[in-house]
Structures are given as C-alpha cells and as structure tokens.
C-alpha cells in the first residue's frame, strides 16, 4: 500500500469546529481507494502505539478504526481516532462544513451536546 491509495485525509468531528465544545479527541478521516489492501495498511501502524479495531467490532462505516492515546492508566492528553473508509462512505465532512459555514447552527449544536451530556453522561450509546 502506497500513498497512491490515499484518496483524502480530513479532520472531522467536533475538534474540527473552532469554539465547539469537544472532548480532547481528534477524529481523522482517512479515505482509501477501493482496492486498498486493508491488512497491509494495518501493518504500517505500530500496534504498540495504535489500537486497531476491525469493521466487525465497530458499529460504524469504518473499515478499520485506529485509536491512539489510550493508556493503561487512562487517556493521554490527546486522543486520536483514525477512521479508515472507502471514497464517499461518510457524511461527517458535510456536517463539519455546514457547521463551519453556519455559526448559529454550530451554537445550537453545542447547546444540544451540553444537554445530552447532562442527560446521558454515563450512557454513551444513548
């Protein structure tokens, strides 16, 4: 797998929106070509630094999800999620771009996030 298999890299998630309330988790979309050898991609990231979750174990469109910043004593100062997907298999970029272009909607979303945290603090799925 070479760089020619990388279609796009995008910063997605709440940390991509300036001023939006967010956990210290940086979500990265790594869009790869349809013919990418996923096992080869996995082999490039050291398993001593990254936790690799495969598609069967995650309830998302991710082919693979790489996690960095999870330590035996808790979270590191920054946590990174690398979402590996095929082209067009995402909607987070549209949502991010909408919030960037519409600050009033971003503020409303931030208020909603605060309300949901208060209501579901210990129930991530809800």
pLDDT single digits (tens) 26-82:
999 999 999 998 888 888 887 788 888 886 666 677 889 999 998 777 777 789 999
Task: Give me 76's structure tokens.
Answer: 């590191």
pLDDT band at 124 (very low <50, low <70, confident <90, very high): low
- The CA-atom distances, in angstroms, between 34 and each of 14, 27, 89, 105 are 27, 21, 11, 34
Q: Is residue 45 a contact partner of residue 31, using CB atoms and an 8 Å limit?
A: no
Q: How far apart are CA 3 and CA 90, in angstroms?
A: 20
Q: How far apart are CA 61 and CA 75, in angstroms?
A: 24
User: Taking all residues of the chain, what is their mean pLDDT, rounded to a whole number?
Assistant: 87
pLDDT at 10: 95
Fold (CATH) for 3-120: Beta Polymerase; domain 2 (3.30.460)
Q: Calculate the CA 66 to chain-centre distance.
A: 9
pLDDT at 101: 97
What single DSSP character describes residue 33? -
* pTM, to two decimals: 0.84
Query: If you average pLDDT over residues 16-23, what whole number do you get?
Result: 90
pLDDT at 32: 93
Q: Spell out the domain ranges in the chain.
A: 3-120
């Amino acid at each position: 797998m070479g760089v020619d298999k990388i279609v796009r890299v995008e910063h997605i998630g709440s940390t991509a929106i300036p001023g939006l309330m967010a956990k210290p988790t940086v979500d990265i979309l790594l869009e790869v070509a349809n013919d990418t050898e996923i096992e080869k991609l996995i082999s490039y990231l050291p398993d001593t630094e990254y936790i690799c979750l495969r598609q069967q174990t995650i309830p998302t469109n991710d082919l693979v999800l790489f996690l960095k910043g999870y330590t035996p004593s808790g979270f590191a100062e920054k946590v990174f999620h690398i979402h590996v997907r095929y082209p067009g298999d995402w909607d987070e970029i549209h949502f991010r771009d909408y919030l960037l272009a519409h600050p009033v909607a971003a503020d409303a979303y931030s208020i909603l996030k605060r309300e949901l945290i208060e209501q579901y603090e210990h129930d991530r799925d809800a």
